Amino acid sequence: MPASDATNDDIFHPSGQLVSERISDAAARVLREALRLARETRWDSVRSPHIFMGLLAVPDACVRDWGKRLDADLNKLLNQFQELFHQDEGESEALLMLNREFLSDNVIRLLREAYRRAREHRRGVVTPMDLLITLLTSSNSIVADCFERIGVTAAKLTELAVIAEQKCGAA
């Protein structure tokens, strides 16, 4: 089997780098922002809350619509997550890149599931809504758990995200 066929179903190259052609420009901005926020909150790897923070920091029209349906101020929500996940004792200048070795196992699964979701919706690229919906529907989602604690279920968050996605025409 040729090397190009071996990675046909994965969002990662064998080297661990993301296959950039499988990520929309908007989703790439989210991932770059997640890297920045991981550094800012002093983590030495990108975790799923950083992906969520990236979605909030550079929201596309669909994510903004989701926030509106949730009746949430995305900037305020971002600040709350930054405070919640900030580590005082963490590494302030950690070397982080969009490569498997710098991503938590949950983020690796999240990216693969988001790509699978994109393909199921007949798209060749992951969108921010693929990231958001996959993040909210992941088992043991830390982000969904944070919302559960304030009385907003993962099912409700996901329902609003799907509605926003359909309205934006990204589905």
Q: Which domains does the chain have, with CATH numbers?
A: 3-168 (1.10.1780.10)
Show the CA angle centred on residue 42, arms to residues 39 and 47, nearest 5°.
75
Question: How many CB atoms are located within 10 Å of the residue 79 CB?
Answer: 13
What pLDDT does residue 29 have?
97
Q: What's the whole-model pTM score?
A: 0.90
pLDDT band per the 50, 70, 90 thresholds, residue 48:
very high
pLDDT band per the 50, 70, 90 thresholds, residue 2:
very low
What pLDDT does residue 140 have?
83
Residue 3: pLDDT over 50: no
pLDDT band per the 50, 70, 90 thresholds, residue 94:
low
Residue 79: pLDDT over 90: yes
Helix (H, G, I), strand (E, B) or coil at 88: coil
The DSSP string of 42-82 is: T-SSB-HHHHHHHHHHS--HHHHHHHHHHT--HHHHHHHHH
pLDDT band per the 50, 70, 90 thresholds, residue 97:
confident
